[in-house]
Structure 1
Amino acid sequence: MHFAGLLLKVKRRKKKNSTEPPVYSTELLGVCTKVFKFTNMCDFQFLPLDHQGRSMYDDIVPSSCMDTAYPDRPAALFIPPVAFSRVDTPQNYCYRRPPTNRLLNGPLPEGRKRRRFGAQAVSHLQEKMPSEPLVDRASFEARVQLRGLASDLAELKKLFEERPVMSRAYIYYKMGGLKDRFKCLLPLVAYYFNTGPWRNMWARLGYDPRTDPAAWRYQIIDYRTRSADLT
């Protein structure tokens, strides 16, 4: 018979008001034939319930992306947080700063590689949105012309004039071509939201969607549906 592991009982005994180290004792309780490992944390999973304790999941989450009648059906008001955690897997974090990560005069810690093309990632709560790129525009546009990307830069500027907020996938769809070239072109035209209703979106430099009521149409709705029941 194949054994997956041993089940041990560990006791830690320490006397009160004593400076002596604790004493550990172990006891073998048996063998395990099966071991279950969970790669994701379950602490942040919850079930939306109504006032009678019944599940509301099927009422507030569409069962399929093809369910076009879902937005028109009445549903209970249930607004969960945007995210419970920024990561899905457990992380060992000891709440101390690494010795090689000392802060310098700027916001970037020592040891972090500076962004090569000067992309600006901002929070939706900061007071003012960027209006100019971090890099020198004239010298960087000259480098763009040497690389033969002047026409791509002009097309990207025109695209942001027509639509001030876009996702990276939408830009790839409209312009096509290689993705690597946008790494140096996007920071010249737009900045990036990493929080808020426009999270993961690129906005035109000098444009603040928070002051434009028409910018509601560019907000992100992030939802996930359960996979189809194959049983």
Structure 2
Amino acid sequence: MSNQTFGQPVGQVLVVGASQGIGLEFVRQLVAMTSVVQVYAACRKPEQATDLQELAGDRLTLIQMDTTNETQVEQAIAQIKAQTDRLNFVINCVGVLHDGDLKPEKGLRQIDGDRMLQYFQVNSISAILLAKHLVPLFKHDQPSVFASISAKVGSIGDNGLGGWYGYRASKAALNMLMKTTAIEYKRTCPNNIITVLHPGTTDTQLSKPFQRNVPPEKLFSPTQTVNYLLDVIGQLTPADSGDFFSWNGDRLPW
């Protein structure tokens, strides 16, 4: 593969965490692309994902996948392998910031080991399980991209405010896991580009409790966010594999 840019997603694509927010919008836009042959949309409970079901058609396949369960990840990838021998684009949108009793910590007194583990299970380990089982579908001679949604607060170098221990650390771990995977993929899947992406503050369930102090021009709709991220992805070259980018194309510090 030369140093040409990846360009627009083509062929066979997989969206993980596809039932809502950024993942759902990726499905909407990818299904509408004439260059995309098939979209595989994975989520924990596709039978309950009504917005996703409304997009159903010949070019969209819904797949059950709980990324915290390796058996389900393996089974879901096997379902895809039964239909195609390759994927050209995978976007991992799985992530958690708050869920019931799980909330970002403001200080050390709020640290709870079990809740910290939950952040890592969803935000970090899920992605490396995907990377492990996707290898056979990236071993082909066409350009491909494996992108994961990270967060700027996962940048250690950019951390000037503190707090949010579990979320920050789990996103930093995600970045390291994908950086390390990119090094191995250069040997095993040499035509693949791995990237982690900061989407900006997007108007989704994940960000709703924290939108109050966000200027209106900095609060993106899912459509805006996906447009920005697709532009960034489209400019990636093999030299960018393993790097961390913001929604506007800026390279972010680790």
* Alignment TM class, shorter chain as reference: under 0.3
More helix per residue: 2
User: Considering only CA atoms, is the larger Rg found in Structure 1 or Structure 2?
Assistant: 1
Higher relative contact order (CA 8 A, sep 6+): 2
TM-score normalized by the length of structure 2: 0.20
